[in-house]
Amino acid sequence: MHIDMDAFFTSVEQADDPSLRGKPVIVGRDARGVVSAASYEARVYGVRSAMPVVQARRLCPHGVFLPGRMRRYGEASRQVMAVFSRFSPVVEQASVDEAYVDITGTELLFGPPLHLARTLQETVEAETGLSCSIGVAPVKFLAKIASDFKKPHGITVIEESEVMDFLAALPVQKIPGVGGRTLEALTRLGVRLTGDILRYPEDFWSGRFGQTGETLWERAHGRGSDVVRPYREPKSSGAENTFAEDTSDREVLSTWLLSQAERVGRDLRRHGLAGRTVTLKLKFEDFTQITRAKTLPHAVNADEIIYRTALDILSGVELPKRLRLIGLSVSGFAQGGERSSLVPDRLEELSERYGRLDGAVDAIRDKFGKAAIKRGKLL
């Protein structure tokens, strides 16, 4: 099963405040930011997630714009995941509002898949006030596609005997991973439905599209992973900020990077992780976006080293336009916070001090709150 919560953030807001039900609710109030979520009532007016808030206000001026409550959404996510785990011990959380559930062997307890899906759906709604859509299929990618078929509050079951007929009529852009460029290339080949992929042999797809072509061929035959993994290691830790005003002032940008490096470093240390790759994200005033990354010889989680690496990346990037957003992330994880040797030998002692400093600052913030101690540059 793939379970996808319906308009999750806005549904939580409507469940917590019944006066919002039936109204176009949009999470994202900052005029400089983007929409995090839109209720189905708001989507009627063309409002979508990732849309600039300014544009959303033009499309739906009477909408209810809310700042968002990430802590509350996290709490609601834990509630629904706990409900899922009552129906199967094998639950793979894919994001804050979706999960895969292996229901193999549950028929004796909950009946056939359709009955199980309805029971789960009703349980989630009764205990949380939230709605979800469910897809059931032999493999994960098909279950994910199926969960989107009858949104909101829908259930779609694809039996193994129905897979090829289902795929034959499926628009190819519904396959996860088929983006704009791939879709253009497929359209030029006359491939509009997933079944059209079967007109060409496997070596045609691998020769023209490489690994992507092989995946398309496999998907067109209904093949994919059916392994649900209850725990997934985090792949990255990041932070980003949208500015009140567009800027190209490198001093301002460096201050934001220091703040973000502190947030990311603390998150890594809390989870006992360190990463080798530091990635810088820049979004310009015209909404174009670039990323630049640097891979270090050893994994790091020290604020200062993350910060200096991000600054080094930024120094090599031209800024032809002002920026509206900057962010950084660390990936390529190793366990345990290995020390970095990216700095010259003469700075190795200072690198060791960074680790001791971070540990002391973390301890103070754990005891007295994150505002108890600040770097002078961030005042």
| Distance between CA atoms of residues 64 and 17, nearest Å | 12
User: Is 352:339 a contact under the CB 8 Å cutoff?
Assistant: yes
Distant-in-sequence, close-in-space partners of 261: CB < 8 Å, separation ≥ 6: 303, 304, 306, 307, 310, 328
Q: To the nearest whole number, what is the mean pLDDT of the chain?
A: 89
Confidence band of 3 (pLDDT split at 50, 70, 90): very high
Query: What structural domains and CATH numbers belong to the chain?
Result: 163-220 (1.10.150.20), 236-378 (3.30.1490.100)
User: Exposed, middle or buried: residue 74 (CB in 10 Å: 0-12, 13-18, 19+)?
Assistant: exposed
User: Is residue 98 annotated as a catalytic residue, yes or no?
Assistant: yes
| pLDDT tens readout for residues 277-316 | 999 999 998 888 999 999 988 788 899 999 999 999 999 9
Provide the 8-state DSSP code for 339: P
Active-site hit among 13, 92, 98, 262? 98
- Say which amino acid occupies 180: G
Radius of gyration of the chain from its Cα atoms, rounded to whole angstroms: 24
**Residue 264 to residues 159, 294, 298, 301, 310: CA-CA distances in angstroms?**
44, 16, 17, 8, 12
Angle between helices 250-270 and 303-315 (to 10 degrees): 140
What pLDDT score does 78 carry? 93
| Distance between CA atoms of residues 47 and 26, nearest Å | 8
Confidence band of 227 (pLDDT split at 50, 70, 90): confident
Q: Which of 43-47, 74-78, 234-238, 321-325 has the lowest mean pLDDT?
A: 234-238
Looking at the DSSP bridge assignments, the partners of residue 132 are 5
Task: Give percent of the chain above pLDDT 90.
Answer: 64
Task: Give percent of the chain above pLDDT 70.
Answer: 94
| pLDDT tens readout for residues 126-145 | 999 999 999 999 999 999 99
Q: Is the pLDDT of residue 340 over 80?
A: no
Q: Is the pLDDT of residue 41 over 80?
A: yes
